[in-house]
Structure 1
Amino acid sequence: MKPISIVIIALNEEKRIGRLLSDLVGQSYRHFEVILVDSNSDDLTLQVAKGYQAHLPDMTIHKMDQRGVSLGRNTGAAIAKHERLLFLDADVRLPPDFLDNAMQALDDSKLEVAGVYRSAEHLSTKYKLGYSLFNSGLYASQFFFPTAVGACLFSTQRVHKELNGFDEQIELCEDCDYVKRASKTWRYRMLPASVKFEFDPRRLEQDGYFKTGGLYLKANLRRLFLGEMRNREIPYQFGHYEH
């Protein structure tokens, strides 16, 4: 079976990083390494993560002096030793068969870059409806203007290097820019709906359900008509969520 490098970016995630690492310990697919890139956290994220190294012996931890989503992902990819890459945020959750199903889907579809739908299985009806609408947008846009959720995104070393990684000048929708550029050379698709990840709703709860949806709708409409945002046209702060 093909090995995979899992790059996790974290910033002050002491309450959540253990959940994701526990999910990785419980994966039925075992051919992976974990690269945790800490964006100079102020809390106990690193200490919690180190507690899982005995259970994830192929895990390395890298602490950055600077903060940045794209910087963290690019740093992790540079350390990765396997061709297949999976980028994860520290506050996602994965079912035990996630890697098994995802790797099979990637092989079946011959995809190098692929997005993953969000699951709202354990959330309220409000979130189920919202996530369903969001996933529908991901499905429709993949054919003409690819968008993605960087919290769970598959790529390869070949693609990442040819793209020069994530654009570190972009603060909002850097993941969408990544797959849009990738789609010009490689076929980009969402994995089947049977392959999903769970996304911590704290971001929606803190910033507001409708406000967050409106922000990303506005951002992607701007991208569609005016291009990428490299000059804080729509301000966004990495790691501003309450912990």
Structure 2
Amino acid sequence: MKPLSIVIITLNEEKRIARLLSDLSCQTNQNFEVIVVDSNSADRTCEVAEKYRPALPELTIHTMETRGVSLGRNTGAKLAKYERLLFLDADVRLDKNFLENAMTKLEQEKLEVAGIYMGSRKLAPAYKAGYGLFNAGLFTTQFFFPTAVGACIFSTKRAHDEIGGFDESIVLCEDCNYVKKAAKTWRFRFLPLSFQFDPRRLEQDGFFKMGFTYLKANVRRFFFGEMRNNEMEYKFGHYQQQ
């Protein structure tokens, strides 16, 4: 299989980054590099990541002075040495055959950019129902108004460069804007795979509140375009205290 550059953005993730790096070290497909782009964390995120060098020989840790989700992903893409890219958040969990299955499906479908559904394994029934509705929305909109979950997006360097990467002026739904731009040139689809991630976001913001926030944001985007003037305030890293 072709090699892969995995970009992981972090901000005060010492309690979670080890889980993801451990998952990556156990992948059935090991043909990848890992680039951790840290937004100048105040905790031991980078120290914890450093401990995984023996298990992940192609591990790079880059610290930024300026914080930002899109800035971090764009920085990681510039540092990547392979054509195929995978953008991950630090609280993602992956099954051991995730990369092998994903790379196979990407090649079969000839996709430059692809999204991944959110998994709800081990979560409460209410969360499972909510994730199911959210995933149904992702599946439906991919055909006419592509959206995605930024915690897990596949891309390529040529696609990333051609669309100008993630728009650093957008704070909320920058991931949706990314795949929407990409879909204008390439066929975008969701792979029939899922990733798990920490439900702390739902627990901190509230299940219904968070769902309504993203629904409202995407409805607004559909009718009025991207939000670049803080129309809906969203702060990077506000989950770090849990």
TM tier, shorter chain? over 0.9
Runs ≥4 residues deviating over 2 A:
none
Map of 1:32 onto structure 2: 32
- In structure 1, how many angstroms separate the alpha carbons of the residues matched to 2:97 and 2:123? 20
Map of 1:184 onto structure 2: 184
- In structure 2, how many angstroms separate the alpha carbons of the residues matched to 1:187 and 1:235? 31
Instruction: Point out where structure 2 has 5 or more consecutive residues left out of the alignment.
Output: none
Residue identity in the other structure for 2:225: G
1:133 and 2:118 matched: no
**Identical-pair percentage:** 67
SS in 1 for 2:111: coil
Map of 2:172 onto structure 1: 172
- In structure 1, how many angstroms separate the alpha carbons of the residues matched to 2:215 and 2:197? 18
1:221 is aligned, of 211, 219, 222, to 219
Residue identity in the other structure for 1:73: R
SS in 1 for 2:155: strand
SS in 2 for 1:217: helix
- In structure 1, how many angstroms separate the alpha carbons of the residues matched to 2:19 and 2:131? 21
- CA deviation after TM superposition for structure 1 residue 124, in Å: 1.0
- In structure 1, how many angstroms separate the alpha carbons of the residues matched to 2:127 and 2:39? 29
Alignment of 1:36-55 (within 5 A): 36-55=36-55
- CA deviation after TM superposition for structure 1 residue 30, in Å: 0.7
SS in 1 for 2:222: helix
Considering only aligned residues, what root-mean-square deviation do their CA atoms show, in Å?
0.5
Map of 1:238 onto structure 2: 236
- In structure 2, how many angstroms separate the alpha carbons of the residues matched to 1:163 and 1:184? 10
- In structure 1, how many angstroms separate the alpha carbons of the residues matched to 2:35 and 2:218? 30
Map of 1:122 onto structure 2: 122
Residue identity in the other structure for 2:231: E
- In structure 2, how many angstroms separate the alpha carbons of the residues matched to 1:74 and 1:17? 20
Map of 2:63 onto structure 1: 63
Map of 2:88 onto structure 1: 88
1:98 and 2:91 matched: no
Q: Deviations over 1:117-137 (max 9, x none)?
A: 011011111111010000000
Q: Give the alignment's TM-score, normalised by structure 2.
A: 0.99
- In structure 2, how many angstroms separate the alpha carbons of the residues matched to 1:150 and 1:113? 12
- CA deviation after TM superposition for structure 1 residue 164, in Å: 1.0
Map of 1:3 onto structure 2: 3
- CA deviation after TM superposition for structure 1 residue 171, in Å: 0.1
- Count of matched residue positions in the alignment of Structure 1 and Structure 2: 241
- CA deviation after TM superposition for structure 1 residue 54, in Å: 1.2
- In structure 1, how many angstroms separate the alpha carbons of the residues matched to 2:227 and 2:178? 13
Q: Deviations over 1:25-62 (max 9, x none)?
A: 00000100000000110101011000101110100000
Map of 1:155 onto structure 2: 155
Instruction: Point out where structure 1 has 5 or more consecutive residues left out of the alignment.
Output: none
SS in 2 for 1:138: helix
Q: Deviations over 1:86-132 (max 9, x none)?
A: 00000000000000110011011110000000110111111110100
- In structure 1, how many angstroms separate the alpha carbons of the residues matched to 2:26 and 2:197? 18
- CA deviation after TM superposition for structure 1 residue 199, in Å: 1.5
Map of 1:210 onto structure 2: 208
1:196 and 2:194 matched: yes
SS in 2 for 1:112: coil
- CA deviation after TM superposition for structure 1 residue 10, in Å: 0.4
Residue identity in the other structure for 1:108: Q
